[in-house]
Structure 1
Amino acid sequence: MQDTSTIKAEVRTPRGKGGARALRRQGRLPAIIYGRDFEPLAIDIDLDFSRREIRRPGFRTRLYDIDLNRDSTIRVLPHAVAFHPVTDDPIHLDFLRVGPDTRVTVEVPVAFLNQEVSPGLKRGGVLNIVRRTINVNCPAGLIPEAIEFDVSELEIGDSLHISHTQLDPAVKPTIGDRDFTVASIVAPSALVSAATAEEEEDEEAEEPETTDEPEDTPTEE
């Protein structure tokens, strides 16, 4: 579970694209909060702060408290970001309102621990990452910062599957019908090429000699 950050915001009156552009010129980012059967709430937040947060790893799995200078804050999860097609600057942000019982489906990054002591990697193997993120469904308050896998005992040829990590019982991978592969330790291409060449040489050495003379064939009596 990650720490919750606070975003100071102001309620705004939607005024179309022209109003949104005017807000951005003032250093504010238009945003909206929706979900949990509440009416959508239009807000605006600091544009520079938004740029920094959006570029932080794990932005879409981090909970925020929206502070509107009221008696209480609104807990939200970033849902969607619209970017300018030329400048790549954020131009609008959607937040999902969440509560204690809200379950969400999010994409969580994968972290591989203890790579420096993995015997397979120390022997020159390569960590072949199959999945850099894993989709999970979980309570909003239990979103993992990362899903961690320990590679400290992996040899070349070993694989990591989703069953090799410890998740909170309430955190469920969206792929639930199989023990899917997350990563493996593979031999480097140079070693693979050398091994293949050796096998081909061995096969050539084992081939029987042939001559141009025909072999004796059995005759019918």
Structure 2
Amino acid sequence: MKTFQLEGEAREGLGKKAVRELRKQDLIPAVLYGSSPVAFPYEGKVSKGDKLVELEKNSAVIVTDFTVSNDGVRKLIYTPEIFIVELDIKGNKKVKAILKDIQFHPVTDEILHIDFLEVFDEKPIVVEVPVTLEGHAEGVKAGGKLSLEMRKLKVKAPYAQIPEKLVVNINSLGLGKTIQVGSLQFPGLELMNAKNAVVCAVKLTRAARGAAAAAASK
């Protein structure tokens, strides 16, 4: 995956009033979740903007509250590409992370909040990767219409093994046929979608049905 450089500022004010003030400055509240639970007793240092959030008895995760600018995240969010984010929270920490969730205003589409998840070299993560179709389907040559049903697939792997896109060859895809998730394999990746989910298909058109009917009547 490509990398994206992003700077943030640790924050302490977490109330609604503080959030309104941040947005007036064109800043977006954000949260970084540490992806590994912390076992107690915890002897590490919790930096400014960090807090421990309990998961279960004697276990918690480190959560960091910070802000990013609208301009800083624009090219990260408004793109079909996926990135590993090299996140620099000034005065706190530098980590690698992925986008976990984005909240938009229901009317204006303004970005209200962003969640990030810290990642590590060997620990698998789950992300959605864009699908690209390659080749010329036999069914299209016969008059069918190619349809991409799933523009992204959910994969699980260490982040260094995750590609920028998943290439699916469709040369042998016949008229009225589909390619399902269960028939696909990519080295080092585990596909998390349902195996019977249709990734792409060549659908019968009226012209193709007519041609098939004419051929059958001869």
Moved more, 90-99 or 189-198: 189-198
How many residues are aligned here? 193
Does structure 2 conserve the Cα–Cα contact (< 8 Å) formed by 1:129 and 1:184? yes
Higher strand share: 2
Q: CA RMSD in A?
A: 2.7
Partner of 1:25: 24
> For residues 14 and 101 of structure 1, what CA distance do their matches in structure 2 show?
34
Of 121, 128, 133 in structure 2, the residue corresponding to residue 112 of structure 1 is 133
Higher helix share: 1
Matched, 1:46 2:54: no
* Stretches of structure 1 lacking an aligned partner (at least 5 in a row): 203-221
Partner of 1:73: 94
Q: Write the letter of the residue equivalent to 1:27.
A: D
Q: Percent identity?
A: 27
Partner of 2:155: 136
Does structure 2 conserve the Cα–Cα contact (< 8 Å) formed by 1:29 and 1:50? no
Per the normalisation by structure 1, the TM-score is: 0.74
> For residues 192 and 52 of structure 1, what CA distance do their matches in structure 2 show?
45
Label 1:174 to 1:118 Cα distance change in 2 as closer, same or farther (>3 A). Answer: closer
> For residues 112 and 198 of structure 1, what CA distance do their matches in structure 2 show?
30
Of 179, 185, 205 in structure 2, the residue corresponding to residue 188 of structure 1 is 205
Partner of 2:3: 4
- The DSSP-based 3-state class of the residue aligned with 1:192 is helix
Does structure 2 conserve the Cα–Cα contact (< 8 Å) formed by 1:67 and 1:73? yes
> For residues 50 and 20 of structure 1, what CA distance do their matches in structure 2 show?
18
Deviation at 1:72, TM superposition (A): 6.4
Matched, 1:99 2:116: no
Partner of 2:84: 63
Partner of 2:190: 172
Partner of 2:13: 14
